[in-house]
């Protein structure tokens, strides 16, 4: 029968034999120094030694089994690689740069269309539209005030309009509808799908047909590249179809939550939940220490192939002519205007002959930017440019002897009145 000191050394030696790492040796000693239940177990051993040698040997054997169950280190988890190794993927002609997770967009082939030629400028309509009437301005103001819970509508209804000044402005917008393509290796669990890699050369990324949406509508499509599919062992479970359980680190059991690993409830009462073992079977893996591999769904093999991502994007930029009314330009982005000019073709030419030179300059700059920027990484399918006339009216009015202003703008007759004279402080209870 071992005394207390010898039992401690034997326990430490037992743990050292289980694992030769320094961390386990340190953990075993710390468990002895910091766990009072170990001292309690050793006291039980010493106390029972005085009664019977036979009983002592039995208790010693049981206690050693309990200690081994309590402190047997769980098997180290083998999570497997987080990503498939590079050698898992074949070298496919035309797709040598394809990687897991995808890369950048592939450059398109040279355009099959001729470069755009200068076209006549837009017809010269009446570039100014009449200012809104006083009645329209007042109705818009009343509607604005009634939509605000903390605004008194008296200034809108009773204010006297003294002046209305038009600050109509232009908005030029260029839209470039593009198609871009990228490839990436991907995999799915293998269920007997056909593997066609190397049966013949796969088509190039830009040779695979894709159904494009309507012009200027964003969309996305995933296409499996033909003749790139092959069967590989699962990189997560190494083809074993199972992987260590994360809850118990592959041990199949965990410390008993009732007795906290001691094997006893109160005093010498053996824990009935774990039957005195100090550990219980893992409920997640049912004591097996492993579970079905999530990557391959327990098949052990993967079908590996190249996915082609086709993305259609409407890239839009706008320019609004500065106006000196005092209304912030960001307000105009929320409204529409009267369309004066529209041009849509494969590639547009900058606007020519428009009365406002800033619009002409903006058109030249944006057309050059779009055609230079998007033709490098995508295929331009269509461009569209428009010019709108946005009505802006500055209204001056008086209320209770003081002068105030507000703005009515856009086809929707939106109102901006930052300094509305009759507001109250309200709170939501």
The reported pLDDT for the residue numbered 120 is 56
| pLDDT class of 228 with cuts at 50, 70, 90 | very high
What mean pLDDT is predicted for residues 103-117?
71
* Torsion angles phi and psi, residue 261, rounded to 5: 90, -5
Structure tokens at 297: 């769904």
> Are 405 and 395 in contact, with CB atoms under 8 Å apart?
yes
| pLDDT class of 323 with cuts at 50, 70, 90 | confident
The reported pLDDT for the residue numbered 383 is 95
The reported pLDDT for the residue numbered 424 is 73
| pLDDT class of 150 with cuts at 50, 70, 90 | confident
Helix (H, G, I), strand (E, B) or coil at 390: strand
| pLDDT class of 297 with cuts at 50, 70, 90 | very high
| pLDDT class of 249 with cuts at 50, 70, 90 | confident
pLDDT at 327 over 80: yes
What is the spatial distance between Cα 261 and Cα 69, in angstroms, rounded to a whole number? 8
Lowest mean pLDDT among 50-59, 91-100, 193-202, 205-214: 50-59
Percent over 70 (pLDDT), the chain: 74
- Name the range with the highest mean pLDDT among 13-22, 100-109, 124-133, 178-187: 178-187
Q: Please list the residues that pair with 397 across neighbouring strands.
A: 161, 404
- The secondary structure element, H or E, covering residue 344 is strand 338-345
What mean pLDDT is predicted for residues 139-147?
95
* Torsion angles phi and psi, residue 312, rounded to 5: -105, 130
> Are 233 and 301 in contact, with CB atoms under 8 Å apart?
yes
**Choice between 33 and 316, residue whose per-residue pLDDT is larger:** 316
The reported pLDDT for the residue numbered 216 is 98
The reported pLDDT for the residue numbered 116 is 61
- The secondary structure element, H or E, covering residue 388 is strand 379-390
* Average pLDDT value over all residues in the chain: 80
Mind listing the pLDDT tens digit for each residue in 177-200? 999 999 999 999 999 999 999 899
> Are 221 and 310 in contact, with CB atoms under 8 Å apart?
yes
What mean pLDDT is predicted for residues 343-363?
92
Q: Is the pTM of this model over 0.85?
A: no
Sign of dihedral through CA atoms 57, 61, 62, 63? positive
**Choice between 145 and 77, residue whose per-residue pLDDT is larger:** 145
């Amino acid at each position: 029968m071992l005394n207390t000191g010898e039992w401690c050394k034997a326990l430490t030696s037992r743990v050292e034999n289980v694992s030769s790492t320094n961390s386990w040796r340190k953990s075993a000693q710390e468990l002895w120094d910091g766990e009072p239940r170990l001292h309690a177990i050793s006291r039980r051993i010493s106390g029972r030694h005085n009664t019977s040698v036979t009983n002592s040997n039995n208790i010693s054997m049981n206690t050693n089994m309990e200690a081994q169950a309590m402190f047997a280190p769980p098997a180290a988890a083998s999570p497997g690689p987080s990503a498939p190794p590079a050698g898992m993927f074949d070298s496919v002609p035309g797709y040598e740069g394809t990687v897991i997770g995808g890369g950048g967009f592939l450059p398109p082939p040279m355009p099959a269309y001729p470069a755009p030629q200068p076209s006549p400028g837009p017809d010269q309509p009446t570039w100014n539209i009449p200012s809104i009437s006083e009645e329209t301005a007042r109705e818009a103001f009343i509607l604005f005030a009634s939509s605000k819970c903390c605004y008194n509508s008296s200034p809108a209804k009773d204010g006297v309009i003294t002046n209305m000044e038009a600050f109509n402005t232009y908005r030029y917008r260029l839209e470039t509808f593009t198609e871009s393509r990228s490839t990436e290796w991907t995999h799915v669990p293998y269920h007997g799908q056909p593997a066609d890699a190397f049966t013949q050369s796969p088509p190039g990324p830009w040779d695979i047909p894709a159904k494009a949406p309507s012009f200027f509508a964003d969309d996305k499509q995933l296409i499996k590249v033909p003749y790139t599919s092959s069967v590989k062992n699962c990189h997560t479970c190494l083809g074993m179809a199972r992987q260590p359980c994360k809850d118990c680190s592959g041990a199949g059991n965990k410390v008993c939550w009732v007795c906290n690993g001691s094997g006893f409830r109160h005093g010498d009462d053996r824990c009935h939940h774990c039957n005195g073992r100090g550990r219980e079977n893992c409920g997640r893996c049912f004591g097996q220490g492993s579970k079905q591999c999530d990557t391959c769904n327990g098949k052990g093999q993967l079908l590996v192939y190249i996915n082609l991502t086709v993305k259609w994007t409407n890239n839009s930029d706008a320019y609004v002519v500065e106006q000196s009314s005092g209304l912030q330009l960001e307000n105009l982005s929320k409204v529409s205007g009267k369309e004066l000019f529209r041009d849509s073709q494969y590639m547009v030419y900058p606007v020519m002959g428009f009365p406002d030179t800033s619009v002409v300059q903006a058109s030249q700059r944006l057309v050059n930017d779009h055609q230079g920027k998007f033709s490098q990484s995508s295929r331009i399918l269509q461009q569209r440019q428009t010019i709108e006339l946005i009505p802006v009216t500055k209204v001056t009015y008086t209320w209770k002897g003081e002068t105030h202003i507000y703005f009515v703008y856009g086809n929707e007759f939106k109102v901006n009145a930052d300094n509305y004279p009759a507001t109250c402080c309200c709170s939501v209870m």
